[in-house]
Structure 1
Amino acid sequence: MKVVILKSNLKGGLSSVERAIGESSNLPVLRNVLLKTNGNKINISTTNLELAITKTVSGKIIEEGGLTIPFSTLNNIVNNTTQERVSLEKDGNNFIFKTDNYEAKIQGLKEDEFPVIPKIKSENCIEFNPVILRKAVNKVISAAQMSEIRPEISGLLLDYQVTQIKLVATDSFRLAEKNISANQFKSDINHSFKVIVPLKTVQEVLRVFSDDEPIKLFIDDNQILFKNNNLQIISRLIDGEYPDYEQIIPKSIETELSVNKEHFINAVRLVSTFSGKNNDVNLALKNNKVMEVYLANQMLGENNYMIPTKTDGKDFENVSFNWRYLIDGLKVIDSENLIFGVNGNNRPAVIKSADDTSHFYILMPIKA
């Protein structure tokens, strides 16, 4: 293997794949990166056996081949070299990194010692405009949380229904759902299915894919592949049954408020200054016109913020929420005003846009 590559291309490739590096001391090769020629391109790959990322970059191929070397060593060299033109060459099991004024010889391993990157058997796919996919995922991802006790909620549910796709996330305290209509994606899959995509995989999709070209999703029994022309992420799916979340979606709302989004967010952030270890804030509706966000703290004092609202329903008082979770639901609403549905202090509240019926966020109150 012998190639010439621009530092910017190599640096960008390493940045794309860095979070799939493995941490296992039993398999030190998982801390390596695989560089391999592919026609007139260079594939840069990492894997932790749960997730694998491959970035394809341009370079001048003088001699084909491949080699795997420690990721951190190569990454440090690339980040600190000042020359743009870089020569990479395999010398036995050594890897020679050379610029006009610098040369390093890095001990590597044979290409066949690097784990095989799995492939998806299915040729059928779902194709998204990356902007649409990104916006949809960002609507729900804050409600997901890693859980070793309940691994099935450590990811996003992708519920494919042919004419629409539902993305769902929950951590058992809150739940978010976003519907993507058929005119927002292309697909040649004609049957319904549900899969749970690991949270880390979804986070990497948001991080490394650009908005410049479509993203294709390929799915088989236990894997999912996100792919465009020069980047692919393949991941194991989470095995298990996603919670029957639809039963907790409120069928009715006791009090529905129309609230200015920015006023609501500002009120919660200000009042939360007095919050304790429960991260709580209290809400009350007075005279069917004004919502009060308030909190008292024995050590600090008390504060409150009054927000004018349009209301349908009855007054309420002393309904408490985790202010961080509340902010997560408020900030993903796109419209100037939002609908806040309150069901007392024992049933879930609902946050949704005044203009968009495809998304909602449900949050359980903190019980007194």
Structure 2
Amino acid sequence: MKISCTQEKLNKGLGIVSRIVGTRTTLPVLSNICLEAKGGQLKLSATDLEIGVTTSIGAKVDTEGAVTVPARLISEFVATNDDASVNLESKDSTLHLKSARYEANIRGIDPSEFPVIPDIAKDSLVEIKAPEFTKAISEVIIACATDDTRPVLSGIYFKFEKNQLLLVATDSYRLAEKKIETPGVEIQKEFIVPARTMQEILRIAGGVQELEKIAISATENQVSFTIAGTQIVSRLIEGAFPNYKQIIPSSLRTTATLALPELASAVKMAALFARQGANNIKVKFTPTELVITSVADQIGDNISRVAAQVTGDEVEIAFNAKYVLDILQVLPEKKALFEVNDKASPGVIKPEKAKDYVYIIMPLRVEE
């Protein structure tokens, strides 16, 4: 392999794929990035056998070929190199890099040992507007379980229905559901994507300016997301997602309409004290405001008041401060609805006028 390309493009491409390499693996090649020069492009690939990422950059290809080299070393070398262009040449699994002022040899592993990343993006399942999709993922992923006790809860549930994609996540303490309209899409398919995969989708999509669409494809056990020339392939989580509909309250007796930033500030203030104990906060719904309190026996206590338009019964209910704060930090809207029934029933937070999103938090039992 013998090519030349700009440092900027190579650095960006390495940044996209290098996060996926296996850090704790018995297969040394999984710690490498595969560089393959072909047809005027340099394809960069990385995988940990759960997720695989490939992206391509423009390059002047003198000789086609491939090589794999340690991801961290090449990424840091190229990122530190501020010369405008870089020449790359491989020989006997060693990659020679040369620019105007810098030169290096990096020993690699034969590319034949690098796992094949399946290409399942040929027949796109659906294309979704990127801003809408990434916003939806941000609002849902916060409810994923962070442990593997129940694997099906450690990912986001995708359910394609006629003209609609449903995204759901729950860790059994809170639940987030988001609906995305997909006009003209009549497929019916459901699967669970690991939260880590979706975090990478958000990271990669966030680095693309004016990204318009994200293409999604899926087989029985894998899913692919294509983002502006970058393809992410991931294993799906096996198992059935729980029947969660029964958790969503059919009616709510008390509704508070209030400024979301003010609520977020009050909860953040209460969390400073709550985290010293069991991370509990109490929310009292009164006719004109929400009174949010937290107590830490060894530290002190806090009371915050948030102006609100409240309809329904007065009620006081306890929640985990983190679960409330998580949703308030990702919703971009200025006004929110905070709805409850009683101290033993789930609470609901959602944007004031949104009919496509709901976030449900289970209450806590605390001493009076």
TM-score normalised by structure 2 residue count: 0.94
Q: CA 1:105–1:331 in structure 2 vs 1: closer, same or farther (change >3 Å)?
A: closer
1:201 paired to 2:197: yes
- Assess if the C-alpha contact under 8 Å between 2:128 and 2:182 holds in 1: no
- Assess if the C-alpha contact under 8 Å between 2:256 and 2:285 holds in 1: no
Count of aligned pairs between the two proteins: 362
CA deviation digits over 1:308-345, x for unaligned, max 9? 3222211112x111111101222333433211111222
State the distance in 1 between where 2:232 and 2:55 align.
9
Q: Which residue type is aligned with residue 360 of structure 2?
A: I
CA RMSD of superposed structures (Å): 1.6
Partner residue, 2:188? 192
- Assess if the C-alpha contact under 8 Å between 1:224 and 1:237 holds in 2: yes
- Assess if the C-alpha contact under 8 Å between 1:122 and 1:219 holds in 2: no
Partner residue, 1:3? 3
Partner residue, 1:234? 233
3-state secondary structure, aligned to 2:142: helix
Aligned sequence identity (%): 33
Q: Specify every segment of 5 or more residues in structure 1 that has no aligned partner in the other structure, as ranges.
A: none
Q: Specify every segment of 5 or more residues in structure 2 that has no aligned partner in the other structure, as ranges.
A: none
Partner residue, 1:361? 359
Q: CA 1:358–1:230 in structure 2 vs 1: closer, same or farther (change >3 Å)?
A: same
Q: Which residue type is aligned with residue 143 of structure 2?
A: A
Q: Which residue type is aligned with residue 191 of structure 1?
A: I
State the distance in 1 between where 2:181 and 2:212 align.
20
State the distance in 2 between where 1:129 and 1:59 align.
29
- Assess if the C-alpha contact under 8 Å between 2:315 and 2:343 holds in 1: no
- Assess if the C-alpha contact under 8 Å between 1:122 and 1:220 holds in 2: no
Partner residue, 1:265? 264
Q: Which residue type is aligned with residue 352 of structure 2?
A: A
State the distance in 2 between where 1:228 and 1:256 align.
40
Q: Which residue type is aligned with residue 311 of structure 1?
A: V
- Assess if the C-alpha contact under 8 Å between 1:176 and 1:359 holds in 2: yes
- Assess if the C-alpha contact under 8 Å between 2:211 and 2:228 holds in 1: no
Q: Which residue type is aligned with residue 207 of structure 1?
A: R
1:284 shift after superposition: 1.3
State the distance in 2 between where 1:91 and 1:30 align.
20
- Assess if the C-alpha contact under 8 Å between 2:5 and 2:87 holds in 1: yes
1:171 paired to 2:171: yes
Partner residue, 2:300? 301
State the distance in 2 between where 1:357 and 1:334 align.
15
1:182 shift after superposition: 2.6
1:299 shift after superposition: 1.9
3-state secondary structure, aligned to 2:328: helix
1:285 shift after superposition: 2.4
- Assess if the C-alpha contact under 8 Å between 1:146 and 1:155 holds in 2: no
Partner residue, 1:337? 335
CA deviation digits over 1:264-316, x for unaligned, max 9? 11111122222123211111123x33321112332222221222322221111
1:96 shift after superposition: 0.7
- Assess if the C-alpha contact under 8 Å between 1:213 and 1:228 holds in 2: no
The answer to which of 129-138 and 42-51 deviates more is: 129-138
